[in-house]
Amino acid sequence: MNADAVLQARELVRHIPVTRGVLFKRTIGTIKVVDGVDLQVRRGETLGLVGESGCGKSTLANLLVALDKPTSGRITLLGERLDTQRGRRLSRARKHIQLVFQDPYSSLDPRMTVGEIIREPLVVHPELVPKADRPARVRELMRLVGLNPEHADRRPHQFSGGQRQRIGIARALAVQPDVLVCDESVSALDVSVQGQILNLLEDLQEQLGIACVFISHDLAVVEHVADRIAVMYLGKIVEHGAAQEVYDHPRHPYTQALLSAGPNASARGARIKLTGEVPSPLDPPSGCRFRTRCWKAAEVCARDTPPLRATDGGHEVACHFA
């Protein structure tokens, strides 16, 4: 394994069985939500994960922070297996990786004060900060994310969306994690506020040397923050490489279509129109999963699943024609 990889996933698979019946449950199929994903994140780097809804990005995020157990595959955090840990050891491992949620409204308990919310991780991991020092630590965290420490006694509803997202970030940072997983963390915010949070995340990463997995459907946002990028389609990574390289020279037809549909598209040349929508993950197409919407699709695409392999461009693509 790579020495400076803080987080590594190998052949990660998460299948969810679909059952029918109440008394006599029988399995009628499996949804391959995440189907063989490899990724690694190095210290201080940002990995951008893009894909449309239903492609498995959020499930992958949950797997990475051990909120969900993979069906098979391995997750290694700081050189130790994360997916096989249980109980107290799992709890201890979790403080190294934290999640910032999408919705700043539903991810904060409305009955707790902001101070209590940010202090909670320190209560869960009491060994980190002695009890007497915790109020000071909470104030420090609030300053760090640009909140006024005097507002520690207020409750979430007294804050705007952007400020609430800052609270969520402060809570995630309380345990000094090595990896931050941001699952659509700026998607619910107004454009002018979104920029503030992106800048904050970048500053924090620089100051604290945290690695970041940044999940978003918004290509422009990911292009701004990510060092490397992985494009996901129906549970598989179809293209992966240095962000600049992937954005400038996309090789997979899906990436090309995604980029041409984005808001900065006119600058990137002709628009590629995809027909149809993402197929159901319950019954994905055989071979290459993108073939049903792909204009390059041929016979070989229905037969063989293209593996993710390196190209001369220096990044990896899973397409027979790349």
Partner 1 sequence: MIRIATTAADTPGPATSHLLDEHPGYDQSAPALEVAGLSVAFPGDRSPITVVDDVGYRVGAGESLAVIGESGSGKSITVRAVMGILPRQARVTAGTVRLSGVDLGALDDATLRRLRGSAIAMVFQDSLSALNPVLPVGYQVAEVFRVHLGMSRKESNRRAIEMLDRVRIPSPAHRARQYPHEFSGGMRQRVMIAMALSLDPAVLIADEPTTALDVTVQAQIMELLAELRSERNMALVLISHDLGVVADTADEIAVMYGGRIVERAPASELYREPRHPYTRALLASIPGKHTRGRRLRVLPGSPPDPSRLPPGCSFGPRCPHSDEVCLTRPALQPIRPGRLTACHHSEEVVENEC
**Nearest by Cα to 281 from 29, 33, 72:** 33
46 backbone dihedrals φ, ψ, rounded to 5°: -115, 125
- The secondary structure of 234-272 as a DSSP string is TTEEEEEEEHHHHHHS--SHHHHHHHHHSTTGGGG-SPP
Residue 270 within binding range of partner 1, rule CB under 8 A: no
Residue 191 within binding range of partner 1, rule CB under 8 A: yes
Residue 277 within binding range of partner 1, rule CB under 8 A: yes
Q: For 304, how many CA atoms within 13 A lie in the half-sphere containing its CB?
A: 9
Of 1 and 191, which CB lies nearer to partner 1 in the complex structure? Answer: 191
Residue 168 within binding range of partner 1, rule CB under 8 A: no
Of 78 and 272, which CB lies nearer to partner 1 in the complex structure? Answer: 272
Residue 190 within binding range of partner 1, rule CB under 8 A: yes
- Tell me the closest approach of the beta carbon of residue 22 to partner 1, in angstroms: 19
Maximum CA pair distance of the chain?
Answer: 68
Q: Is the dihedral of CA 180, 184, 188, 194 positive or negative?
A: positive
**Nearest by Cα to 96 from 74, 112, 106, 81:** 81
* Residue count of the chain: 322
Rg of the Cα atoms in the chain: 21
Q: Indicate which single residue of 247, 250, 306, 317 sits in contact with partner 1 (rule: CB under 8 A).
A: 247
Q: Judged by CB under 8 A, how many residues of this single chain contact partner 1? A: 40
Per-residue mark of binding to partner 1, 42-81 (x: CB under 8 A): ----------xx----------------------------
- Tell me the closest approach of the beta carbon of residue 164 to partner 1, in angstroms: 11
Of 8 and 163, which CB lies nearer to partner 1 in the complex structure? Answer: 163
Residue 224 within binding range of partner 1, rule CB under 8 A: yes
**Alpha carbon distance, N-terminus to C-terminus of the chain:** 28
Residues that bind partner 1 (CB under 8 A): 52-53, 160-163, 190-196, 198-199, 202, 217-221, 223-225, 243-244, 247, 257-258, 261-264, 266-267, 271, 273-274, 277-278
